[in-house]
Structure 1
């Protein structure tokens, strides 16, 4: 019987009541008395030298209150990258300053070089248009293609970086010779060149920020669309503006989707704070959708050559990759970690590969910055491996299922140390593969293919077996690898006098259902009703210092901190109960919401202990302080490793190249599942985003650096009719061995496993139809598929 409450129950999302009734509390919903409006003036050329900006042309226009340019921010700091990466030769990466507003040069279309503060948005837009006309920018040749950017020493995105190379990274450098030799000796080597196409995140809610300044105590408040309010506060205070941390509050209310693009600090957040102080009134900025296309951090954008050495019966001997990774015009906060330690360390996949070496060059171009997007490095690694393994199986005329089965790690091999320095603690990859084959009716595929052929369609099936690393940790290790922040999280559990509970968490919810799931965990552990638990997040003045939500870390890291805080609550409750029940503390057990004297019927309900903590008339004051509130920080000692097997079934119209996804099956191992309904929804969302990347989404710049896909007229987002019903299973679970909840993370899985499964299915369909096609780069649009079929 399904549970109706607590851990494992499909409790309805409590936050949906406000979201579905139009009562969400988003940044742009906040109305401030006397607020002014910021409008950014953005470059319409990809690369140019700023010769002059005539601010006098707009200062007296109607409604204009202030004009800011890059000159106003020369003395302040820059927005830093969160990870310092060293090249193979030991040299630190090149890290040019990322200013609040461009100064001296503009480096991508949409690069903001000035800002207008006006009484109304329309007045600001009018002034911004006039200021753009009064600005002289000498257009320079744009650097767009990564290979050309590295080869051309004279055409520089940043004048001080002659080869446009941020770093040349090798992982692990000591593996290199062994991998080279293994590939040289391998009976068969598969080589594949592929592109992981650039994406625009396109969250439902565009970025928005409101800056406030209080002259009474020289303090600031930033309300903003952030997945990570404490990190935003840290970056603004410590690096960009130099505001003392105790003088700054960052609030991230409801956030309508992030997918990674709202982890980072953006210049507009600093701009509204400076403007608010200057004008002594609140200043608001909200992006237009066209601005989001131009200025939000994009995702993916890798060009990779992967080589897989194998025996003639399909045993993988070695993997080597060489990748160019686009970081755009500036380094965003996670842009250096995403293609390195979130990508290269997963290049063994779920396989027992003896030798792996990864070389990656991060390249500056005159395009929007590129950073973490749902999956962040893990989809790029999985796509390379799973496409190459499929191609290898085809070249060797082997069954792609059996090739994977031969190479998958088996349960008796855990814990398993990969050649790229991760330690997988637990898993059962054979079980998820078997479950996926069962649920997808793999055995009945040939009959379905024959039926499709009778209708003139080509049917194909593609497989992807994947693994990811979540809950980035531990801090002492990532610090050695270059992280400039800790990667713990925190929670405060406050039991109120009447027994209700407020939980302040460092993680931030922007669609995942934290308010529901965290309450389930607390209610389950403390034996109280879920409705008595309130989850507080997103306000740095209320929550302990945490590192936000991304990388499927919320439950594994922040949830574990919350669990530890509850352990402290229970331990203190036992002391109080022992006194009240006149028993030894060692004889007190906590079960079903009551503190009991073991072996007797003497007990005190949780609410009674809470009341006694705040009204300590009968209380061990000499041993225990009044009150019942505890805080815990949790720093994991390893990543968590969700894994799974995905099967995609497609039909291809050979006359038009149109691909239809007719079935999609996911068998995942997420460890212990807290809320099955929410997990299923997370997988659905990730798969849809993966299908979008594989089939229709693509960000394109022309040779002059002009964004050719800057609106929904040009950038195709997946719609309901692009997606089939998705079968989701998480029954083959192996609990994580090193966090108290046994959870692994589920938020990115769908976006990681689905692109290679879909592309593999298309290649399979074409080959079954007699077309010798080895590869098609994403997105597999009708024109690309038709061209591949027709040579």
Structure 2
């Protein structure tokens, strides 16, 4: 039997197994799937941000060539189709529940944002469906709209939902207000700061797509969809929207080309094609185009915040007060309420030992696309606020910004924060020092002088960060409002000849799970990675799992696999003890072999697998045949990756263009399974973070029309916008899970935005600049340098 080489076990940079099919064009994405006899759906969407629907005339559309059906919201209501559910509930300060208005799959009497779905046309081809949709006459009565938080909260503002007073979804808080106020009362200095976290539009490489299929002979429904968590989609759609028993509903998420949070949620299109397929008894396929994605995929961020930091005379942090207003958009998306609350407020301690923190968040409905988790989900917003605030505090107190951070870092673990979380491990001082050394922080001033000689403004910025990954445990999440468990499942199935199939409830949309999970199993059982198959994304094949988001795949899913492997080893020891005629307690397992302690008598895991399935010499009365085990893992706590990012920029004062010239990241991800995969995740996260800081902004006009509705208007980062990154690790193991892993997928997008903006402000500090809002576009920077504000720069949606 083959034995795993040192290059394939834990800690080895094994090349990704899945890349061969991706790079050779043999991936199987939802849009690649064609079902026999399928029709195509085109969704007619509202051009108005707010309007009453007085009538829909689809007579002409139904008569057009190839059209099989036209369905409206009234048709779906008549078919007893429910609204899209929200998966997280939040309570107000007084304990009352949040406002949770209905979210119809197709609008019935009113549309509430540009892109709100109004009708669906099903035809033989997509072109025919689109042509027919253009023939539908919708009698809209336009109504006043509000696109920003400020406008939505203004007295007398147009109501997004008539039943929601003042457009306020919830008014939430966390922390001890009295204790925090007392800390401020004794402070020597209070630093006050206001900032905006700009709204972002996810742009995964693969747009969303869905195919509904129905087998009338078995009364079985199948949905193929671009999803990060197929079991949750099955649960929400089956139980709350379409009323289909889960035993008759299969959800398949094949290869998914990027998600970043935007493919977690249950979207209207999934319910539409599933319902339409059953009505027509033929498959129905929908694939979004890029512009459609801009008005139908959940957006991210969009906060306006006022923060105050209290310090004593030595620069020690005494207290933090934060008041945030968060834009929910027109409806509540699946996890939306958790993002500005329990994934944001709980992270406001960051890496600092601030003894008192009080945060309050007002969530607001507006006539815009719903807002939900986007890479980092609350943690980037918290880190950006905190790290900008610390830099402002350093400037106002005259304390060096590195010294101020060093003075306040958490250094002893476990550490209980005043906002609910308890950190189990870390070494924030080590990652800070590692990043400063790698970035040559002490040599920066000479580089600044050299740049000045060339007519450029050079700045350097630092950001220390901490995030919470692997949402857990379920009982705590339930108390905080989660309406589902947040455990994960793993099944390890040995085949008779010794190869292994791993079934996982988590899902990959670019993270390299097929390689990393295979390494985890190969390392434990002494197998080549090539002998381990990883199966995910099909509710018809895998046990019930919760999918992938929040950097939970390895921290939760991987630990479920580790527990299942423990069960395999325990059963294998019993089989080996029988075959080797030894006591179970004398049998050891290491390197893929069961050995009687102190002897050379041994059996390989392959021999044990064969014996399990061919039990000719087997104690059947004591051990059942087969070698397959399943485990569910519900974590005891979050995991807490952290680190330090350092960014160096040059600004051309003639054009306002900001160039990132150096970027350094030193991270603590706990135990690392595949360093190359981790490095790739950091690269991608930093690219998204730099994009937010310098380029990206979702912009609505005052009437609620989306101005950045395509890649021509919404500026995504390109290769030329990033230098080569300097990456390193200083890892401390997580102490609350068996593998000691923490998570890495979102870190780059969390630590990088404040590092970039801190560098931009540093470059402009001699000109009296205290803050620059994201994105720091050339127009905005030019306006700051040459006076008159951000000339030509669009206003941020939440500003």
> TM-score band, normalised by the shorter chain?
over 0.9
2:642–2:669 CA contact under 8 A, matched in 1? yes
Matches within 5 A, 1:296-311: 296-311=297-312
| Structure 1 equivalent of residue 689 of structure 2 | 690
TM-superposition CA deviations, 1:142-161 (whole Å, max 9, x none): 11121221223451001111
Looking at structure 1, the residues matched to 478 and 605 of structure 2 have their Cα atoms a distance apart, in angstroms, of 41
| Structure 2 equivalent of residue 225 of structure 1 | 226
Shift of 1:186: 1.5
- Aligned to 1:517, what secondary structure does the other structure show? helix
Q: Which moved more, 1:67-76 or 1:314-323?
A: 67-76
| Structure 2 equivalent of residue 115 of structure 1 | 120
| Structure 2 equivalent of residue 761 of structure 1 | 759
TM-superposition CA deviations, 1:216-269 (whole Å, max 9, x none): 111100000000000000001111111001000000000000000000000000
| Structure 2 equivalent of residue 167 of structure 1 | 170
Looking at structure 1, the residues matched to 402 and 694 of structure 2 have their Cα atoms a distance apart, in angstroms, of 23
Looking at structure 2, the residues matched to 384 and 171 of structure 1 have their Cα atoms a distance apart, in angstroms, of 17
1:276–1:282 CA contact under 8 A, matched in 2? yes
| Structure 2 equivalent of residue 366 of structure 1 | 367
Looking at structure 2, the residues matched to 178 and 417 of structure 1 have their Cα atoms a distance apart, in angstroms, of 16
Looking at structure 2, the residues matched to 636 and 693 of structure 1 have their Cα atoms a distance apart, in angstroms, of 32
| Structure 1 equivalent of residue 771 of structure 2 | 775
Structure 2 vs 1, CA of residues 478 and 153 (structure 1 numbering), >3 Å: closer, same or farther?
farther
TM-superposition CA deviations, 1:355-391 (whole Å, max 9, x none): 1011100100000000000000000000000001000
Whether 2:182 is the aligned partner of 1:201: answer: no
Looking at structure 2, the residues matched to 705 and 154 of structure 1 have their Cα atoms a distance apart, in angstroms, of 13
| Structure 2 equivalent of residue 748 of structure 1 | 746
1:773–1:789 CA contact under 8 A, matched in 2? no
| Structure 2 equivalent of residue 587 of structure 1 | 586
Looking at structure 2, the residues matched to 408 and 81 of structure 1 have their Cα atoms a distance apart, in angstroms, of 37
Looking at structure 2, the residues matched to 548 and 760 of structure 1 have their Cα atoms a distance apart, in angstroms, of 35
- Aligned to 1:322, what secondary structure does the other structure show? strand
| Structure 2 equivalent of residue 647 of structure 1 | 646
| Structure 2 equivalent of residue 158 of structure 1 | 161
Whether 2:16 is the aligned partner of 1:13: answer: yes
Shift of 1:312: 3.4
Looking at structure 2, the residues matched to 148 and 278 of structure 1 have their Cα atoms a distance apart, in angstroms, of 42
| Structure 1 equivalent of residue 785 of structure 2 | 789
Matches within 5 A, 1:643-682: 643-682=642-681
Shift of 1:185: 2.8
| Structure 2 equivalent of residue 183 of structure 1 | 184
Looking at structure 2, the residues matched to 4 and 446 of structure 1 have their Cα atoms a distance apart, in angstroms, of 42
Shift of 1:351: 0.2
2:58–2:135 CA contact under 8 A, matched in 1? no
Shift of 1:578: 0.4
Looking at structure 1, the residues matched to 424 and 222 of structure 2 have their Cα atoms a distance apart, in angstroms, of 43
- Aligned to 1:345, what secondary structure does the other structure show? helix
| Structure 1 equivalent of residue 130 of structure 2 | 125
Shift of 1:313: 3.0
Looking at structure 2, the residues matched to 667 and 350 of structure 1 have their Cα atoms a distance apart, in angstroms, of 14
Whether 2:526 is the aligned partner of 1:527: answer: yes
Looking at structure 2, the residues matched to 327 and 371 of structure 1 have their Cα atoms a distance apart, in angstroms, of 8
| Structure 2 equivalent of residue 349 of structure 1 | 350
Shift of 1:301: 0.4
2:500–2:532 CA contact under 8 A, matched in 1? yes
Whether 2:469 is the aligned partner of 1:470: answer: yes
Aligned residues: 781
Looking at structure 2, the residues matched to 312 and 766 of structure 1 have their Cα atoms a distance apart, in angstroms, of 27
TM-superposition CA deviations, 1:541-585 (whole Å, max 9, x none): 111111000000000000000000000001000000000000000
- Aligned to 1:420, what secondary structure does the other structure show? coil
Looking at structure 2, the residues matched to 664 and 749 of structure 1 have their Cα atoms a distance apart, in angstroms, of 14
Looking at structure 2, the residues matched to 681 and 365 of structure 1 have their Cα atoms a distance apart, in angstroms, of 36
- Aligned to 2:431, what secondary structure does the other structure show? helix
1:226–1:262 CA contact under 8 A, matched in 2? yes
1:346–1:378 CA contact under 8 A, matched in 2? yes
Looking at structure 1, the residues matched to 199 and 148 of structure 2 have their Cα atoms a distance apart, in angstroms, of 13
| Structure 1 equivalent of residue 44 of structure 2 | 41
Shift of 1:787: 1.9
Looking at structure 1, the residues matched to 751 and 426 of structure 2 have their Cα atoms a distance apart, in angstroms, of 16
Looking at structure 1, the residues matched to 339 and 622 of structure 2 have their Cα atoms a distance apart, in angstroms, of 49
Looking at structure 2, the residues matched to 625 and 632 of structure 1 have their Cα atoms a distance apart, in angstroms, of 18
- Aligned to 1:561, what secondary structure does the other structure show? helix
| Structure 2 equivalent of residue 88 of structure 1 | 93
Looking at structure 2, the residues matched to 421 and 374 of structure 1 have their Cα atoms a distance apart, in angstroms, of 22
Matches within 5 A, 1:311-330: 311-330=312-331
| Structure 2 equivalent of residue 339 of structure 1 | 340
Looking at structure 2, the residues matched to 312 and 773 of structure 1 have their Cα atoms a distance apart, in angstroms, of 25
1:466–1:643 CA contact under 8 A, matched in 2? yes
Could you tell me which runs of 5 or more consecutive residues in structure 1 were left unpaired when the two chains were aligned: none
Whether 2:273 is the aligned partner of 1:277: answer: no
TM-superposition CA deviations, 1:496-520 (whole Å, max 9, x none): 0000000000000010000000000
Whether 2:394 is the aligned partner of 1:398: answer: no
1:414–1:425 CA contact under 8 A, matched in 2? yes
2:689–2:748 CA contact under 8 A, matched in 1? yes
Looking at structure 2, the residues matched to 217 and 565 of structure 1 have their Cα atoms a distance apart, in angstroms, of 34
Q: Which moved more, 1:323-332 or 1:648-657?
A: 648-657
| Structure 1 equivalent of residue 795 of structure 2 | none
1:230–1:546 CA contact under 8 A, matched in 2? yes
Looking at structure 1, the residues matched to 543 and 26 of structure 2 have their Cα atoms a distance apart, in angstroms, of 27
- Aligned to 1:336, what secondary structure does the other structure show? helix
2:554–2:743 CA contact under 8 A, matched in 1? yes
| Structure 1 equivalent of residue 516 of structure 2 | 517
| Structure 1 equivalent of residue 797 of structure 2 | none
Q: Which moved more, 1:417-426 or 1:649-658?
A: 649-658
Matches within 5 A, 1:376-775: 376-410=377-411, 413-730=412-729, 732-767=730-765, 770-775=766-771
- Length-normalised TM-score, structure 2: 0.97
Backbone CA RMSD of aligned residues: 0.9
Looking at structure 2, the residues matched to 454 and 151 of structure 1 have their Cα atoms a distance apart, in angstroms, of 50
Looking at structure 1, the residues matched to 22 and 66 of structure 2 have their Cα atoms a distance apart, in angstroms, of 35
Runs of 4+ in 1 over 4 A off after TM superposition: none
Looking at structure 1, the residues matched to 777 and 406 of structure 2 have their Cα atoms a distance apart, in angstroms, of 31
The partner residue of 1:100 within 99, 102, 105 is 105
- Aligned to 2:134, what secondary structure does the other structure show? helix
| Structure 1 equivalent of residue 76 of structure 2 | 73
TM-superposition CA deviations, 1:107-136 (whole Å, max 9, x none): 0000001100011111111111111xx110
Looking at structure 2, the residues matched to 322 and 73 of structure 1 have their Cα atoms a distance apart, in angstroms, of 41
2:146–2:157 CA contact under 8 A, matched in 1? no
